[in-house]
């Protein structure tokens, strides 16, 4: 897939985009986390049979990122 195609399938709706921006600002995620959260959100959307990335997919991806961050700091 070309990068344009990847971006087309990875774009969340407006509410999902705002949720992601708020989470990055609140939790101090690095810039790379934006892409990783979107990738996980796309995977979650695919697994639920959704054509688009919805806020609930972004929310779950953010929760997983926070959990991963907490687990790695406690090891």
**Pair of tokens at residue 40:** 């996980």
What are the pLDDT tens digits along the chain (75 aa)?
Answer: 565 666 677 788 889 999 999 999 999 988 888 888 999 999 999 999 998 899 999 999 999 999 988 777 766
Tell me what pLDDT residue 18 has: 93
Q: Where are the domains of the chain?
A: 3-73
Tell me what pLDDT residue 35 has: 87
Look up the CATH number of domain 3-73: 1.10.8
CA–CA separation, 66 and 42 (whole Å): 17
pTM of the model: 0.81
For 33, other C-beta atoms within 10 Å of its C-beta total 18
């Amino acid at each position: 897939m070309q990068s344009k195609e990847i971006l087309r399938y990875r774009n969340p709706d407006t509410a999902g985009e705002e949720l992601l921006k708020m989470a990055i600002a609140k939790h101090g995620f690095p810039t790379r986390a934006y892409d990783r959260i979107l990738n996980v959100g796309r995977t979650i959307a695919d697994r639920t049979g959704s054509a688009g990335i919805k806020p609930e997919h972004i929310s779950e991806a953010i929760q997983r990122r926070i959990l991963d961050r907490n687990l790695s700091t406690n090891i």
